[in-house]
Structure 1
Amino acid sequence: MKKKIAIIGSGISGLTAGFELSKKYEIHIYEKNSYLGGHTHTHKITENNKKYYIDSGFIVFNNKTYPNFINLLKKLNVNSENTSMSFSVNYPFEDFEWSGKNLKSIIFKNKNFFSIKFLKIIIGIIKFNFIAKMNKKSFLKIKIDTFLKKFNFSEEFKKYYLYPMCASIWSNPINKIKNYKTHFLIEFFINHGLVNLFFRPQWKVVKLGSNKYIEKIIRLSDIKFFLNNNVKSIKTSNDQIKIKNKNKLINYDYLIFANHANEISKILPNNFKKQKKILSLVDYQTNDACLHTDSSLMPKNKYNWSSWNFIKAKDDTARLTYWMNYLQNLKCKKNYFVTLNSNNLINKNKIIKKIKYSHPVFKHNKEYTYKKLQEIQGLKNIYYCGAWCGYGFHEDGVVSAKKITNCLL
């Protein structure tokens, strides 16, 4: 008789762990939402009797920094296609916008190209890339805001490039980005080729929507899924874990937490004090996301329309709009967008779907968080994984899950 494993959370980590372990164990996955996937969230849109699949959460990956996720796609026989990654910054109340989509948008279609402001941005990018490649250990502990002041980076570089870029990558407000550790941020930029002006990695999207890999996992495994099942507590006794499912307690031999760190802390019993303290190393930022067709949140100059489009509000909110037609190679008449934290600015008649996502806010570098997590892995037959164990992306979710499956196989 197979031993039983409960997995809480059906994001990339929970699904990877469940898929890898399902041949040896009986797997039950508990998901609080009405759909599987967590941040993998694909919406079916019909236009002129043709179906399009648009992602609102996880969208892009690349060959260089997502090797384990790509191996998973290959194992599942899921196809991908190339996409173009570009970034624009828009300060509408200053009448200043620019895009790094291509030389045409940077030079010929950018009215700010010959301004002192834009020159300082370019100088700052070159300077930052050069210093980042030095990757000195002295960068380890200081906050990015302190680092930028120490090396006399211009306000223009910070305001119109680095902080908008980081706020967009991690879906966090700029005041929180300023507290990120320099080494964490620089390591991410180096690994993702962001410190190179040329020879950046080729970005990709899952063909016909990211949920294609979820469909394959369901089809190729015998995992039992329990949707709309928000586990609020567990009980442990004699190396057994008890979980309530529809007013019935079910015994499990192992439990894998694959949800957010703050959610795990609430589920654990009060006597798990060390676990709760370690899980508190990661905070979370809740973001409103909206799938819509309102182009008013895009740059005024259409030549500046990019994959990612940052608009600075007068408050500190990171307002980011993804141009889904460009990202997912959609051949349709309407333009589709996913925008964060701007629901009140979007034409209500053009809204397709509103969603809430939580994104991690990192207070420490990933090595420190991982090291502390090893102190509690496997205690009382309970394991912890999630994208929050790394940089917060799909590759990190797969890697954290595989580390656990290696212990249990």
Structure 2
Amino acid sequence: MTSPERVAVIGSGVAGLTAAYVASRTAHVTLLEADDRLGGHADTHLVREGDRELAIDTGFIVHNNRTYPTLLRLFAELGVATQESDMSMSVRSDDAGLEYAGALGLTGLFPTTANLRNPAYLRMLQEIPRFHRMARALLALAEDRTTADETFGEFLERGRFTPYFRRHFGEALVAAVWSCDPAIALDYPARYLFEFLQHHGMLRIFGSPQWRTVTGGSREYVARVVAQLGEVRTSTKVTSVFETPDGVEVTDGNGGTTTYDAVVVATHPGQALAMLADPTPLQRELLAAIPYTPNTALLHTDTSVLPNARRAWASWNHLERLDAPGVTITYDLTRLMRLPTDTHYLVSLGAEDLVDPALVIDRMEYEHPVYNPTSVAAQRRLPEIGTDRVAFAGAWHGWGFHEDGARSGAAAAERLGLAWTSPSGTGSIPALPTEARSYTTSIRHVRRSPMRREFTYRSRMWVVDADRLPDHGVLGRFEARDHLGRPDRTIRENVEAFVATEGVELAGGRILMAANARAFGYNFNPISVFWCLDDQDRQVATVVEVHNTYGDRHAYLVHPDERGRATVPKQMYVSPFHGTDGVYDLVVPLPTDRLLVSVRLTTDHGEVFSASMTGRQAPGGVARSAPAAALGALRIRRQGLALWARGLKIRPRPTHPRQEAVQ
């Protein structure tokens, strides 16, 4: 199929923006938006506070590095800065006399002593781990008609969960996550719901990802996408999309018709169906099967909608109400966006009758998809409704979140033959880790001369951000004394000092480190790698630090090519079977969900030795990674003894000169 040259994207939510951005790499794009504002749920409000202005998001607010890969790739290419967010949830039920918050520790679970005297509440806490186990067990079963059709309410009945648990935990969780009526939450397909919760680390007490928010508000990424596009038209409602043998005719509300090579319809499904001039029976069936529910949102500062007990105030706050239908949920944007203010800026759904009108800053109308067995069944068939010229996109292709919209937008562009290439044309920019990751690794050593020998073993390795080093106590912590530089500084300070000696300034950018942690009082890293990035997450340099079993260390600063390759002269005695002569050929690409570190030594005498570590991100890292350093050191020493026993010549160990900012 020939790649289209002129493309129209209808709708400027995240799905339309992503589709337009991808298409703009190779085509001229016209973005059409019925509203006078771009962004959809990426909705940033500028609020004046004294002599400053706060950028506050009221729609899309948070994301994470684990489950938003498409959005992270978009942010990486656009240079969008993000920061850590606070993710917690509270439940307030005035008629039950209950207030509590999750993810805030014991303080949140017991904000007052009343919860300690509430047997039903204490039992509910005991039911939560069983709920998690049953949900994971359901996902472990092969999907059949029975498991696919079971609703959340039926699941709770089958599990014999108490009415107290059902109302104050189960319904509240789904209603808060999807901004839906608690009664509707019970009709959600259980398996579909649990797939989402599992995907986001929410079917365990611990293990949720670190959530983040866009610095300066989501308007930042919207503006950067729009700057890449050829033509943007707001206040332009599309009334007809008609596919012809030669193109797609798009008619707007003024009666003007323009023909494009291809069109991405990135609106809600009902809107998409309404603008199709000649929908197929399947398009009519599936688009009509996915309903949306409207929600009025208020941006305000009325804290009366939060729990009465301040210690239960959370990022998401669900208020149970028997006197009003629908959901009442309040998001604390000051917490979520870490706004530099003492005022709690809030956005509430379903609280128009509760919020003091004098404290309302703005009013928004949003819509969210409703999931039931019919809509989920229709969703699975959505790939069937697109054509070679017309593709559909929207968060309704997934769980209804920003990542689902971004992913569907990229997929729609790809369906039309528009591949996502990076701005340089060299391929995708990886989604870089923003929190500690553990990798299962395979380490392989190959010696080709003067005798051939190789050995392979499995191990573990961490990739961590030098500004957010995890501390797992005796099972694993990262200490400056185990790496280059002074032990009385931080690892980051030492890396910055070293690269500065080579004329490299990081200017506040991140440093990602691949290394073993110190566990049980011991640490050994044959190789540690530091990827140095600037404040736009662009690679500035890479530091490869080498340790030998004698306690020496040496750091090499390299500037790898786009595939992570670099060459550097060897300068340290690492193995007793090699001197300090030769050249290293390194391969150290930026880590993603895969990790690769490869070293090939060619000596001045033509001897070749190579070592490589390949890894894949894996869960359960702390306990399994703890013995990695000790076992690795033991295996290396054992292999050295084996080579010595076979008669491999030992080279004398020289005295190493002190390397500035390293030793």
The two structures have a TM-score, normalised by structure 1, of: 0.95
Residue 105 (1) aligns with residue 113 (2)? no
Equivalence for 2:9? 7
Q: Which residue in 2 is equivalent to 1:234?
A: 241
In structure 2, the CA distance between the partners of 1:364 and 1:24, relative to structure 1 (3 Å rule), is farther
Q: Which residue of 2 aligns with 1:46?
A: 48
Equivalences, count: 407
State percent identity of aligned pairs: 29
Matched residue type, 2:158: K
Structure 1 runs (4+) greater than 6 angstroms displaced: none
From 70, 95, 98, the equivalent of 1:96 is 98
1:33 maps to 2:42: no
Deviations 1:148-187 (A, max 9, x none): 1011011111100111110111111012111111110111
Tell me the residue number matched to 1:157. 165
Task: Give the direction of change, closer, same or farther, for the CA distance of 1:110–1:19 in structure 2 (3 Å limit).
Answer: farther
For residues 237 and 183 of structure 1, the distance between their equivalents in structure 2, rounded to whole angstroms, comes to 40
Task: Give the structure 1 partner of residue 363 of structure 2.
Answer: 354
Aligned to 2:629: none
Q: State the AA in 2 paired with 1:234.
A: V
- 1:285-342 per-position Cα deviation (integer Å, ceiling 9, x unaligned): 1000010011111111111100000001223321000011111101113211000011
Please show how residues 170-319 of structure 1 align to structure 2 within 5 Å: 170-219=178-227, 221-245=228-252, 246-314=254-322, 315-319=324-328
Q: Give the Å deviation of 1:229.
A: 1.5
Moved more, 7-16 or 22-31: 22-31
> 1:116 and 2:119 equivalent?
yes
- Closer/same/farther in 2, CA of residues 319 and 382 from structure 1, 3 Å limit: same
Give the 3-state SS of the residue equivalent to 1:399 in structure 2.
helix
Read off the aligned partner of 1:361 and give its amino acid letter.
V
Question: Do the aligned partners of 2:11 and 2:33 also contact (CA within 8 Å) in 1?
Answer: yes
The SS at the match of 2:341 is: coil
Is 1:321 the equivalent of 2:330? yes
CA–CA separation in structure 2 for the residues paired with 1:57 and 1:35: 13
Higher relative contact order (CA 8 A, sep 6+): 1
Residue 206 and residue 110 in structure 1: after superposition, are their counterparts in 2 closer, same or farther (change >3 A)? Answer: farther
| Residue in 1 that maps onto 2:638 | none
CA contact (8 A) 1:366 1:391 kept: no
- Equivalent residue of 1:94, what SS? coil
2:551: which partner in 1?
none
Alignment of 1:359-374 (within 5 A): 359-364=368-373, 368-374=377-383
SS class of match (1:23):
coil
3-state SS of 1:78 partner = coil
How far did residue 195 of structure 1 move?
A: 1.0
Aligned counterpart in structure 1 of residue 347 of structure 2, from 328, 338, 354: 338
CA RMSD of aligned residues (A): 1.8
In the alignment, the residues of structure 1 paired with residue 317 and residue 380 of structure 2 have an alpha-carbon distance, to the nearest angstrom, of: 36
User: Following the alignment from structure 1 to structure 2, what is the Cα–Cα distance between the partners of residues 146 and 188?
Assistant: 18
| Alpha-carbon distance in structure 1 between the residues aligned to 2:4 and 2:284 | 31
- Counterparts of 2:405 and 2:350 in 1: how far apart (Å)? 25
- The question of 1:132 aligning with 2:141 is answered no
2:154 aligned to 138, 141, 146, which one? 146
**TM-fit CA distance, 1:90:** 0.7
CA distance in structure 2 between the aligned counterparts of 1:65 and 1:51, rounded to whole angstroms: 31
Q: Give, in angstroms, the shift of residue 404 of structure 1.
A: 2.0
Taking a change above 3 Å as real, the CA distance of residues 2 and 404 of structure 1, as seen in their structure-2 partners, is closer
- 1:84 deviation in Å? 1.2
Question: 1:62 corresponds to which residue?
Answer: 64
Whole-angstrom distance in 2 between the partners of 1:108 and 1:39: 33
Deviation at 1:367, TM superposition (A): 7.5
Which runs of 5 or more structure 2 residues have no equivalent in the other structure?
419-663
Paired residue for 2:587?
Answer: none
Q: CA deviation at 1:36?
A: 0.6
Separation in structure 2 between the aligned mates of residue 177 and residue 223 of structure 1, nearest angstrom? 42
2:167 maps to a residue whose letter is: K
Sort the Cα spacing of 1:17 and 1:261 in 2 relative to 1 into closer, same or farther, 3 A. Answer: same
Q: Give the AA of the match of 2:198.
A: I
Deviating more after overlay: 232-241 vs 185-194: 232-241
CA displacement 1:165-219 (0-9 Å, x = unmatched):
1011111101211111111011111111111111211011111111111111122
Alpha-carbon contact 1:30-1:226 (below 8 Å) kept: yes
Please state which structure has a larger fraction of its residues in helix.
1
Secondary structure at the aligned position of 2:110 is classed as helix
Specify the code of the residue in structure 2 equivalent to 1:385: A
Q: Which amino acid aligns with 1:335?
A: H
Following superposition, the deviation at residue 223 of structure 1 comes to 3.1
Equivalent position amino acid for 1:197 in 2: I
> Relative to structure 1, is the Cα distance of residues 277 and 239 closer, same or farther in structure 2, using a 3 angstrom cutoff?
farther
2:177 pairs with one of 165, 169, 172: 169
Contact 2:10 2:264 in 1 (8 A): yes
Distance of 1:215 and 1:176 partners within structure 2: 36
Equivalent AA in structure 2 for residue 66 of structure 1: Y
Query: What does the per-residue CA deviation read over 1:351-377, in whole Å, with 9 as the maximum and x for residues that have no partner?
Result: 100010010001249974454112221
Q: Does the 8 Å contact 2:296/2:366 carry over to 1?
A: yes
The SS at the match of 2:353 is: helix
2:371 and 2:61 mapped to 1: Cα distance? 21
CA 1:367–1:21 in 2, change beyond 3 Å: closer, same or farther? Answer: same
- Is the partner of 1:343 in helix, strand or coil? coil
The residue number in structure 1 matching 2:410 is 402
In 2, the alpha carbon distance for the partners of 1:17 and 1:110 equals: 52
* Residue 388 of structure 1: aligned partner: 396
Q: Which amino acid aligns with 2:333?
A: M
Further displaced range: 330-339 or 271-280:
271-280
Q: Whole-Å Cα distance in 2 between the matches of residues 261 and 22 of structure 1?
A: 24
Tell me by how many angstroms 1:222 deviates.
2.8
CA distance in 2, matches of 1:364, 1:262: 18
Unaligned runs of 5+ in 1: none
